[in-house]
Structure 1
Amino acid sequence: MRTHYRHSLDHLADQLQVMCLSDRAAIATATDALLRADLELAEHAIDRCRQIDTTREDCERAAVRLLALQAPVAGELRQVVTALHVVGDLARMAALTEHIANIARRRHPAHAVPDTLAPLVSRMGEAAVAIATNAADVLGSRDPHDAARLDGQDDTMDRLHHNLLTAVLADDFTGPTTTVVDLTLLGRYYERFADHAVLVGRRTFFIATGEYPDE
């Protein structure tokens, strides 16, 4: 019975990693859609985000079953309860990605991002892909040292976000109000995506050690 329970725990952990990899693919597609003003890519990213939400429901049901059908203790209980929090973070990453894709869809066939800022937004997309990749690796390895290093990648995204806001608020920025709003929202979406990826790492650190990195 306990062997089956351990297999169920491992399957849940695998599903979390699959969700994170799907988040990575979705944010990459949404960024491409945004920069290329590609409606088909935007729709594809939105569809993928909705599939992630379906996986979230499956993971939540699996976690509740593990809590209800067995009596998990110590590390097992910590793993199941923390998995529920991780599922929430991964689902939020998908929701933020869907917001990005929706901006691309809403402005099509025009480009939501002006040419002058496209390289900066592209770097934000690359940073989001990188941090999601490493978060997925951490979910697979549960290495607390790798989990702790995600904070450094979040700093990179914070700098890019600051640079984007600085450019948008500069006196020589001539874009219309709709562009200012879109860029401000985009910066926030990318930043929050990275924040949730860091939380995935912190929670994985907690599963492995019983403590959070700052403790």
Structure 2
Amino acid sequence: MREAYQSDLRHLVDDLLDMASLVSSALEDATTALLEGDLGLAERVIAADPHIDQRQYDLDTKIVELLARQNPVAGDLRLLVSSLRMSSSLERMGDLCGHIALTARRTHPEPAVPEQHHAQIREMARLAGEALANASTVIAERDLALAARVEEEDEKIDALLQEVARELAKGGEAYTNAQIADMTLLIRFYERIGDHAVSLVRRIGFLVTGDSIDTLSGGGTEVSEI
């Protein structure tokens, strides 16, 4: 009985990593669809999002059953509680990828991203994807040094958001109202993906140390929903 319980705990990490892989693919495909106007790829990202939602539901159900049956304490309890929150962050990241794909579909065949902003969006996507990949490594290896680096690198995504926002504000008639609205949302989507990656590594910090999730890099707050 105890062996089965320990096996279930180990599989939680595998389930989280599987979810992260699905989100990583969605992020890459949604960005390609957005920048290249690939309607078919956008549709595939949108259609895949319910599968990520289902993975969260299945994982959370498993965790609740373990909490009810095993009455875990200490590290095991932290693992279960942290996994609940991490699955929520990953599901939300999947939703944000879906929002990017929905934007690509809605504006097709017109581009949602003006040509002069392609490089910035591509870089935001690269940084967000790298943050997710590093967060996956942190989940697998409990590497707190890498976790701190994820937090530090998140500032680059925030800086790009501010850069694009300033250019939109100063652009005047260079943009349509629709382009301004779409770009404002898109940069926010990518920024929130980065924030959720930070939330993932903070959960591992809590799991390993038992400290508050806000102490990994000396401050900050839990990400909010969008």
In the alignment, is the contact (CA less than 8 A) between 1:33 and 1:39 conserved in 2?
Answer: yes
Moved more, 135-144 or 186-195: 135-144
Q: Contact between 1:148 and 1:205, CA under 8 Å: does it hold in 2?
A: no
Cα deviation, residue 48, structure 1: 2.5
SS in 1 for 2:138: helix
| Structure 1 residue 158 displacement after superposition | 0.5
Identity of aligned residues (%): 38
Once residues 20 and 69 of structure 1 are traced to their aligned partners in structure 2, the CA distance between those partners, rounded to angstroms, is 27
Match of 1:40 in 2: 40
CA–CA distance in structure 1, aligned partners of residues 51 and 140 of structure 2:
21
- The Cα shift of 1:163 comes to 1.0
Give, in angstroms, the shift of residue 21 of structure 1: 1.7
Alignment of 1:46-85 (within 5 A): 46-85=46-85
Give, in angstroms, the shift of residue 210 of structure 1.
Answer: 1.0
Three-state SS of the structure 2 residue aligned to 1:92 is: helix
Cα distance between partner residues in 2 of 1:201 and 1:174? 40
Matched, 1:31 2:26: no
For 2:4, the equivalent position in structure 1 comes to 4
Report what 1:101 is aligned to.
101
Query: Equivalents in 2 of 1:122, 1:134: separation in Å?
Result: 18
Contact 1:143 1:208 in 2 (8 A): no
TM-score by length of 2: 0.92
Q: Which runs of 5+ in 2 are unaligned?
A: 220-226
Structure 2 matches for 1:9-24, cutoff 5 A? 9-24=9-24
Distance 1:156 1:190 in 2: 12
The CA RMSD measured in Å over matched residues stands at: 1.2
Aligned residue identity for 1:54: Q
Distance in 1 (CA, whole Å) between partners of 2:173 and 2:97 is: 26
> How far did 1:54 drift?
0.9
Tell me which amino acid in the other structure corresponds to 2:84. L
**Structure 1 stretches of 5 or more lacking a match?**
none
Distance 1:156 1:90 in 2: 21
Equivalent residue, structure 2, for 1:182? 182
Query: Helix, strand or coil: the match of 2:6?
Result: helix
Amino acid at match of 2:35: L
